[in-house]
A and B are shown apart, each in its own frame.
Chain A
């Protein structure tokens, strides 16, 4: 996923130290760099350069069957394949005028809970927590606090197992199809994971309390938050698109209000609200726009973690993620309790020429898909806007504000602090060659 340099002692006949780079870059795509321009002691520009992959996917989806989109787009990310599948099925069902039955809808929600748990637990414990506790990495953290890292790994595994059960395997689920599922579990299967989820719920509550004790920089940013909003549920697979500055639209109007731009300094398209510019998606946005949709027990846990109904400190996103893990556990248990295998695992979907729109809440924020298909079900146009691309402008604005008072720090310290600030967003830079390359251009 990222290229990294390793100094490795070979165990072969040649006993010497050698430096090699293990090419993770090959596995997910990505390169991130931050360029900061300083003029007259002031930060005038902060540019984040990101390489991201959906552009290729949009091109090679053309000419494929509409039923292939969920499986093809799942390949965009090894961390959140369910998000890609769910946005794809939503868009295809939209264009074909199909509505799935309630048990199928709930099963999709359950599958997605597994992904939230897995992705968030990974980020909280292995990637983000070391920043706050002064460790270089989760490895160092594990040496001093193995019980903390073990808890994170077990929590992540609970999400994995839920996904594996519903999806047929741990990554890139194979049971999801347009119209429903190829295969659905029986109640006894779910009872097994329920036991593990009860443990996970307790561990998640501990996680919220523990995350709340971490030392957060005193820093806030005035974001426009954008998330889905549902009449009754905390948003996962559907809702209207709303923002903290008054946006309230159906998903199909996304392109009327949001626009993507090519910018010279990044391979990723920059997304912005046509009227106001930068906006933020992700856990912080979901939380701020949907606090009232969380069950009372989860709201209470959030308070124990030091959060109010509104949180504008991006560093506290680790607490918000923990709250969402707790919510995912609670919701998964509720859905398992309700579960009755659907009469039919899927409804037959006949292609219909037109354009369909799908948007779901990936762990990192809203993931928008739009497809145009012809009467034979062949995709003629595809558009995919991942959360990271949408956050890029907000990240830059945030970094500009964050760097300004810190510009006199030595380079290494500044680079490290900037990395932490970027990690708040859990971006799908998909890991840089040398994340992070920081260049400061001072005049």
Chain B
């Protein structure tokens, strides 16, 4: 199997938005050489390039769904579309969910793609995660380590 890839998406200077990046930073000390780690700003088209050639891709991003801060979501792209809202919602860029669906339409999805969402609380300019988000980051790190061990074939 080709190496697995974990991508942490976010803006490091927008507090909880950096949750995905923080997950990847923590993973650096915990994974072996056959797992690649990347931090990413989240521009969608570039994501397609970033995961080119990887079999198992795990993407981590902050979300704001209105749920309690630190709530963790886990999606498996194989279970069906992440119904990206319409691109016409934007004038300027393609987001993470759009990237996943674009890749699906183009046959460029990795063999296995898992997406983690971590509910953030503060997205204002600045650095540092909220306590709940920091806790959630620890949980996601543990969960991803399990995913990697199982080669992505783990349910929930």
Contact = CB atoms under 8 A, between A and B. Distances in A.
Contacts, number: 197
A170 interface: yes
A27 B41 contact: yes
A259 interface: no
7 contacts: A6-B97, A28-B92, A28-B93, A137-B87, A149-B102, A430-B92, A434-B89
Main secondary structure on A side of the interface with B? mixed
Interface stretch (B25-33, B62-70, B127-135): B62-70
B17 A22 contact: no
A215 to B, nearest CB: 17
Given A4-B89, A8-B83, A427-B92, 16 more contacts: A4-B97, A6-B82, A6-B84, A6-B97, A9-B80, A10-B73, A11-B76, A11-B156, A22-B65, A122-B45, A127-B87, A127-B94, A149-B106, A171-B43, A427-B91, A429-B91
B87 A139 contact: yes
B95 interface: yes
A281 B88 CA distance: 23
Contacts of B49: 153, 157, 160
B89 A435 contact: yes
A426 B91 contact: yes
A13 interface: yes
Contacts of B11: 26-28
A178 interface: no
A32 B91 contact: yes
B123 A23 contact: yes
Contacts of A420: 88
Contacts of A346: none
A210 to B, nearest CB: 18
B64 A2 contact: no
Contacts of A10: 73-75
B79 interface: yes
A284 B114 CA distance: 42
A362 B84 CA distance: 29
B48 interface: yes
Contact of A27 (B14, B102, B155): B14
A143 B105 contact: yes
A7 interface: yes
A114 B92 CA distance: 18
Nearest to B122: A26
Contacts of A431: 89-93
Contact of A75 (B13, B48, B85, B102): B13
A139 B92 contact: no
B46 interface: yes
Nearest to A7: B83
Q: How large is the interface on B (under 10, 10 to 19, 20 to 34, 35 or more residues)?
A: 35 or more
Contacts of B93: 1-2, 24, 28, 78-79, 122, 127, 430-431
Interface of B: 10-11, 13-14, 16-17, 41-46, 48-49, 61-67, 73-76, 78-80, 82-98, 101-102, 105-107, 114, 117, 120, 123, 125, 155-156
A230 interface: no
Contacts of A28: 11, 92-93
Contacts of A171: 41, 43, 46
A342 interface: no
Contacts of A126: 44-45, 87, 94, 102
Contacts of A32: 91
Going nearest first, the 6 A-B pairs with the smallest beta carbon separation are A137-B87, A20-B65, A26-B123, A23-B64, A11-B76, A142-B105
Contacts of B61: 22
Contacts of B74: 10-12
A142 B67 CA distance: 33
B143 to A, nearest CB: 10
Contact of B98 (A8, A19, A139): A139
A136 interface: yes
A126 B14 CA distance: 26
A100 interface: no
A131 B86 CA distance: 11
B43 A136 contact: no
Contact of A79 (B43, B62, B75, B88): B43
A419 interface: yes
Interface in A388-404: none
A71 to B, nearest CB: 12
A156 B94 CA distance: 13
Contacts of B85: 4-6
Contacts of A75: 13
A138 B87 contact: yes
A18 B119 CA distance: 14
